[in-house]
A and B are shown apart, each in its own frame.
Chain A
């Protein structure tokens, strides 16, 4: 019976171009668009920011500061109008740099061309360049730096002394550098998986409208049995969707967006996680399907809830720039747990987080399926043929 149900549901979904669009084309399109859109973030974006250092004097330190800023990735300009960021140094900067600077004496003017999300990083980099400049001044003052040496040589010496990378071992997978792909692929895989709500709801509504649901009441199969057969069929379809989206996310998206590739660090855990995610997505989908009675309701409630959950789960706006209250809400969303599990499976350094969120999802699925089954049985019981 299950095989025939699977075949039936598969044929119905495959014959419906809209369902395929929702399950495969939509998430793949989102993966590509969002990865591509985010690929210009961080370091690439810094390289497009123009900085003007404004000073009443033309001293060695102004030149050195410009060079340190340039090393951080900024473009140095000598025109105020062309600059995205204007750094105004106080008078007698040369004399004040070590001990004479008062609070807030250096003014940063940030133009709106630097997005709010970029501003904290830009300020950090400006501070970093200034720290090097003060070290430069200090070393000159105590004679550790040859005053007679060319400026480039002095800067190289400072860079050598401030290069601390060698002291750190960063315990992370190489692919964590692929931030755009690593952010987009898990998010939009999960978005696609949870969009099973639409095909499930529309299938149930179709069965209700065309009379097959009430006809099935007269067949020797209980409503609960039919419910679980249908759930199994859709879970299998979602699993296939999960595998397809994963393969596209790993192999096609990085190539098409010219981004670093990502790999799954532990396939057994990844596949187990996929299964749990698929089950929880279907649990949510069947609750909605049992509640709606028309296509309009399915689209508004099913599609709407999915988009809302995605919005508060850090899919559209990264969690790290969300207000705390929203980030807290997101941390209770099954979509967020699902996306974090996938992300952690790619990075491969946080197995305990995976197990915690898998447990959350299993509990969510158990509660949701119990509720969905009850609502489904009630819905069928109320159906009348007239």
Chain B
């Protein structure tokens, strides 16, 4: 089941003469964690902004299948079900952790009787209990990140967007946030988050969207589980049509993506038919880093 269906999404900022999002069509699976990777300026944050409804005049369509009220603006349709964790700290630094949560909670349509339980739950989940009465401006970077996430949780969202939630914090706080994201997955929330930390994306995400120059490529989990075969010949082979070439690099090295051990065996057998000498051959699991590098190499 899809949480969000995106079709031919394009957007150009008024001050730019290029598309920050260009013809993006993909589906976000419900109750899955989708990582969004790509270099700075590739369109990741714009993509999340568009999905949250913060960009009003985009081309194409964004559909939340379970949302009614098509006549209204996207942001009005999705306000109740999506939450955003911006990269910057978006809270009131002069207020304490608890005061911040109280204030944002007061903006939601949640009955007062539920507040106490919800707040206790959020504080426990985000491991903020020990600093709940501290002013936000006095918190460490890690706690600030957690407060940033905690505020997004007061809406009890079905879909959570996080923009680089682990940037600029120590490994301990990062581990807490990773645990938090994993717990959201277990709770059945749909997560989308951008990150430059490919290892954490690999660890948490089911699907990966790689952005480059406003264009997106979706890689589902099974693609990450493919096998990557690397073969190096002594000279350029004449005919490799039988191989699904994933990438050709210098010195006659070829990378081939295979989706099963059986396919690997078949490919190895065919490779023995190639006239040229194979200097080196090895295989490994495909990785997010490789997907990322491959996408960035494509022009």
Contacts and interface: CB of A to CB of B under 8 A. Distances in A.
A384 B55 contact: yes
B84 A215 contact: yes
B246 interface: no
Interface residues of A, number: 26
Contact of A386 (B46, B82, B89): B46
Nearest to B106: A4
A218 interface: yes
B107 A212 contact: no
Interface stretch (A11-19, A90-98, A240-248): A11-19
Given A381-B56, A385-B49, A218 B75 contact: yes
A211 interface: yes
Interface string A191-225: 00000000000000000001110111111110000
B83 A218 contact: yes
B45 A5 contact: no
Interface residues of B, number: 37
A12 B46 contact: no
A218 B107 contact: no
Contact of B54 (A4, A7, A15, A385): A385
Contacts of A214: 54, 86, 90
Interface in B153-211: 155, 163
Interface in B17-63: 45-46, 48-49, 52-56
Contact of A384 (B49, B90, B135): B49
B237 interface: no
A366 B91 CA distance: 32
Contacts of A220: 79-80, 107-109, 155
A3 to B, nearest CB: 8
B82 A212 contact: no
Nearest to B84: A218
B214 to A, nearest CB: 13
Nearest to A3: B106
A383 B56 CA distance: 11
Contacts of B283: none
B86 A16 contact: no
Contacts of B99: 7-8, 11
B90 A211 contact: yes
Contacts of B135: 15
B95 interface: yes
Interface string B89-123: 11111110001001110111100000000000000
Contacts of B155: 219-220
A16 B94 CA distance: 8
Contacts of A8: 92, 95, 99, 103
Nearest to A2: B106
A12 B109 CA distance: 24
Nearest to B104: A219
Contacts of B91: 210, 212
Interface in A328-386: 381, 383-386
B89 A211 contact: yes
A103 interface: no
Contacts of A217: 54, 75
A221 B80 CA distance: 10
Interface string A220-255: 110000000000000000000000000000000000
A384 B91 CA distance: 17
Contacts of B86: 211, 214-215, 385
A8 B100 CA distance: 8
A5 B89 contact: no
Nearest to B81: A220
Contact of B79 (A4, A5, A219, A385): A219
A8 B107 CA distance: 12
Contact of B107 (A16, A216, A384, A385): A216
Given A219-B155, A386-B49, A212 B56 contact: no
Interface in A1-36: 1, 3-5, 7-8, 11-12, 15-16
A210 B93 contact: yes
A4 to B, nearest CB: 4
Nearest to A8: B103
B220 interface: no
A73 B224 CA distance: 100
A382 to B, nearest CB: 10
Contacts of B53: 218
A15 B13 CA distance: 38
B151 interface: yes
Contacts of B13: 384, 386
B220 to A, nearest CB: 27
Contacts of A12: 92, 94-95
B88 interface: yes
A4 B83 contact: no
A257 to B, nearest CB: 36
B92 A218 contact: no
Contacts of B56: 381
A381 B57 CA distance: 11
A188 B274 CA distance: 94
Contacts of A3: 106
A221 B103 CA distance: 12
A216 B106 CA distance: 12
Interface string A259-271: 0000000000000
Q: Which of A16, A212, A216 gathers the greatest number of chain B CB atoms within 10 Å? A: A212
Given A219-B108, A220-B79, 18 more contacts: A8-B95, A8-B103, A11-B94, A15-B135, A210-B90, A211-B90, A212-B91, A212-B92, A214-B90, A215-B90, A217-B75, A218-B52, A218-B53, A218-B79, A220-B155, A384-B55, A385-B48, A385-B52
9 contacts: A5-B103, A8-B95, A211-B89, A218-B53, A218-B75, A218-B82, A220-B109, A220-B155, A385-B48
**Which 9 residue pairs of A and B lie closest in terms of their CB atoms, listed nearest first?**
A211-B90, A4-B106, A15-B94, A215-B90, A211-B88, A219-B107, A220-B79, A8-B103, A221-B107
Interface of B: 13, 45-46, 48-49, 52-56, 75, 79-80, 82-84, 86, 88-95, 99, 102-104, 106-109, 135, 151, 155, 163
